Each structure stands twice: as C-alpha cells, then as structure tokens.
A = this chain, B = another copy of it.
C-alpha cells in the first residue's frame, strides 16, 4: 500500500498512452476498463471472477450508494472495499449523471442538486461538498467532482451554463476533497460538443489542479463520430502527466478509438447489461445468443479464451439459458463480456508497448467485422 497517489506514463504510440495509476489499493494499468459496480456489485459476477479477468479497478455509483445502503452506513461497516470484499482500487462517480438520468424530479441550484430518489421518492440534496463527503465515507480511491450533466441535444447556452456551474462546483469539490493520502480527486470537463466550451472547461479545471481529468457529458446520444470529434478537441487541453478518463464509454470500438485519441480510463455498463440481455462481445464481434441459429451450435464463444464463460459453454447451452430467462445465462454472458473487455484492454496496452497500436487497431476492427462464423 503506497501512500502516494500518482500517475506514471510509461510510453505512447501516436496519441495512445501506456501508463500506471498508483493508489493506496494498488496500481491501475492504463488504458483501463472499469466494470461498473453500481450498488456495490458488478451485476451477475462474483468479485473473484472480476479479478480473474484482469480488472484492476471497479466503479461505484455515489447516487445509488447514497440512497442504499447510505454513505454513513457503509462507513460504519468499514467502507465499501470491506463491505463488498474488494481489495483493489475503487473509483466512485459523484452522482451528477444519475441525477440527470434516474431521479424523478430534480432541481439544480448554485448550492446543490436537489432530487427525489427513484426508489422511494424521498427528497435528497447533493452539494459538491456532500458528494465528496460521501465518497470519502465510502473510502473511494478515486473521487469525482460533482458536475452538472445535461441531455443531448442541447443549446450552446445551456451547455455553457452547466459547464460554468460544473467549474464552480469543481473548485468547491477540490476544497472539500482536502488531503487524502493515496487517493485522488478528478475534475470533469463539460461543455457539450462545443470546442470553445470544452477548452474553457479544461483550462478552468487545470488551474484548479486535479490528480486526473475526466471527459463527461459524452455517449449521451450524440453518436460515435461526434463523440470522437469532441475527444479530439478536448484532449489537447488536458495535461500530459495526468490520467484522462472518458466517462460512461463504451463499445469495444469506442474504447479502441478513444484510446487512439489519448484516453486512459473507461467505464461502461454495456458488457454486463448486454450480457443480461443475451448479447456477447467477442473477438469476432457481437453475437446475439437469443438468435435461433445458435440452438444446435456446440461451439463455445471463443475456444481460445482463458475465461470459462467464453471457452467452456456451448452456444447451444447459452442460447437455451438466455431463452429460458435463466440466471446462469445472464451470469455467464456478463462474465464473458467483462473477460473480453479486459482481454481487449490487455491487447491495447500490449500494442502500445510494442509500438504497433495502429496495426492492432486495424486488425482488431477487421476481425470484429468477420462476425460470427457458422459452424
């Protein structure tokens, strides 16, 4: 357990970067994918399985955890790591995104976000200070500032207003974070898809100074092209020596393309959510196990994978389980998808290290296009 939170950049290939983030709960190899452990569980997986896929860090949602079991309750139980049985790093978001997407009624004031719980309708107030307080109580290794997320599409005026508020909240978040050895505090760049706003947001955050910088407000409906454009125009304004985290992204292709543009960290519910609905992500692209053509197919999803969910179960059995609505089908495909995502991250890191990222990127996208080969 090192006391110092820091980022080491080992090298780069084009804009793609290879690094390590050092935290009190160990190192995070970047580019990193963080499985989402919404309420303190990566849905459908045992944390031992998550670990075995090569996951260095998982994400917890402040919004969900503040509602249930509650931050003080988690602290009393020894913190989130102890409660759930995970000894590696945890990043927690600040709740901004869920307040926009989940809360029944919400109101944003200068002081705080005021919202009704989607669970019981109870009124809650989340200020930048309280968001940091909650994350400290949870014992999170990487704590995000509270920001205001807005929906897409939006007017420039609305994007600017939310970005400016997020900047003021960034300052308050930073002050509230204080000194926490071995833990880091990340600012979040907002500004919609507007180049000027993104630049101003990044510059503002840099002058406050954070251990890392996230790009928020993307993957909310703008499409991949506009998302990648926005990453391209934001990244140059972020410091080279700090990790860059693209929030809520994405598909395997989104990740490869964003890593190519200098992103170091990702999180997304896609692998587990898709898994629960019968969709697998594999080396050969997406495979929908609900499809009738898998009913008699004895092949596993990927015979060469070290993950049993990919190599030890036939498509016929997975198809049957998913069609029957069985828990095991959801469990296996969620596991398979997290395993594939982490295998992909390992390949990305290896390709950057070997200086052949462009070749890897081309070959990987070709292989996805091959699709699901018939038996």
Contact = CB atoms under 8 A, between A and B. Distances in A.
Interface stretch (A7-15, A68-76, A174-182): A68-76
B328 A43 contact: yes
A328 B41 contact: yes
B327 A327 contact: yes
Contact of A84 (B68, B276, B317): B317
A68 B320 contact: yes
Interface stretch (A210-218, A226-234, A308-316, A359-367): A308-316
Contacts of A317: 40, 77, 83-85
A345 to B, nearest CB: 23
B327 A68 contact: no
A320 B43 contact: no
A326 interface: yes
Interface string A231-275: 000000000000000000000000000000000000000000000
22 contacts: A39-B320, A39-B326, A40-B317, A40-B321, A41-B321, A43-B326, A43-B327, A43-B328, A44-B327, A46-B328, A46-B331, A68-B323, A69-B316, A73-B316, A76-B296, A77-B296, A77-B316, A77-B317, A83-B317, A85-B312, A85-B317, A327-B327
Contact of A320 (B69, B314, B323): B69
Interface string A323-347: 1101110110000000000000000
Contacts of A330: 327
A295 interface: yes
A123 B216 CA distance: 54
Copies of this protein, total: 2
Interface of A: 39-41, 43-46, 68-69, 73, 76-78, 83-85, 276, 295-296, 298, 312-314, 316-317, 320-321, 323-324, 326-328, 330-331
Given A68-B320, A85-B312, A326 B73 contact: no
A46 B331 CA distance: 9
Contact of A85 (B41, B85, B313, B324): B313
B313 A78 contact: no
Contacts of A331: 44, 46, 327, 331
A278 to B, nearest CB: 15
A28 to B, nearest CB: 23
